[in-house]
Homo-oligomer: A and B are copies of this chain.
Amino acid sequence: MNAPVKEPEVLISEVGPRDGLQSVKATMPTAQKLRWIDALAASGLREIEVGSFVPAKLLPQMADTAEVVRHALTHPGLTVMALVPNVRGAESALRAGVHKITIPVSASAAHSMANVRKTREEMIAEVRAIARLRDEVAPGVKIETGMSTAFGCTIQGEVKEEEVVWLASECIAAGADEVGLSDTSGVANPAQVRRLFNKVRGAIGDKTGAAHMHNTRGLGLANCLAAWDVGVRTFDSSLGGLGGCPFAPGASGNVVTEDLVFMFEAMGVSTGVDLLALIAARAAMEAGLPGEPVYGMTPAAGLPKGWAQGVVAA
């Protein structure tokens, strides 16, 4: 029943080892992180955010990121990404050999101060400094800015779309290669997702990056579908829905990678990910995070009768 291999049409960017782990209390031992990443890579995922370069005293669970990066680099074809909040982090990331850096920038002025204690303008300056450093020491490395609170903010409420467009343009002007939009507080709706991605694309064209949607109010996949409809081809998600902002019982913050891959593959949109291998990767994650809630409806329900990945249902 296996279909011929199709070229992937979307890039699923797995954020669990960074975004996910930063949201849980436990610190996963390095050896277990490596096994988890191995299992993720074995499923066919082509991009993984493996950690962040931040002071170890602030985030002890990220203290081993350089080692994790070095291990992840042994997987051929895998884009190894790390989060850095500033130039200092970027120095460490480039030294470790990452392929891609992601920098968090808040669309909401209030969230920017609360999250990184910098104004949005100061973060743009940081992006510029990181891009200069990259140009000097590792010009092949890609820089993404992930724009948090792009769809609304728990602190200030509404975020004006023209400010999102302005900030996206400023990030590109500062040297970023792409700008993703994040629904940090899980308030986005499909109409807004389509409108905002269209506006941002109008300003920065093909430098429009990933949709990072949350499932806080159950709309994660609907919002990914909406983003797909307007041409977004990179989607952030995490295995088992780890991380994000899980203040709703039964609700993951991050979109569940397994359900996202199921949606696209069922639609006949190739992800390059083997869904059964992806579901099997949950065991490696769970082994390192005993007792942590893990989400995902497709793993619980199982695959439909007659499921043959890559074949469009007739």
Q: Interface on A for B, CB 8 Å cutoff?
A: 152-158, 160-161, 185-187, 189-192, 215-219, 221-222, 224-226, 229, 247-251, 256, 259, 262-263, 266-269, 295-298, 300-301, 304-306, 312-314
Contact = CB atoms under 8 A, between A and B. Distances in A.
Assembly of this chain: how many copies?
A: 2
Determine which residue in A161, A224, A298 has the highest number of CB atoms from chain B within 10 A of its CB, and name it: A298
Nearest to A220: B218
A270 to B, nearest CB: 13
Given A154-B305, A158-B313, A267-B190, A217 B259 contact: yes
A166 to B, nearest CB: 15
What is the predominant secondary structure among interface residues of chain A facing chain B?
loop
A251 B301 CA distance: 8
A259 B268 CA distance: 26
A215 to B, nearest CB: 7
A179 to B, nearest CB: 20
B301 A225 contact: no
Given A216-B301, A301-B217, A191 B160 contact: no
A291 to B, nearest CB: 16
A304 to B, nearest CB: 4
Given A191-B268, A218-B262, A222-B224, 19 more contacts: A152-B305, A158-B306, A158-B313, A186-B301, A189-B266, A190-B225, A191-B269, A192-B266, A218-B297, A219-B221, A219-B262, A219-B266, A221-B222, A222-B225, A225-B225, A248-B300, A250-B250, A251-B300, A251-B301
Contacts of A263: 189-190, 218-219, 222
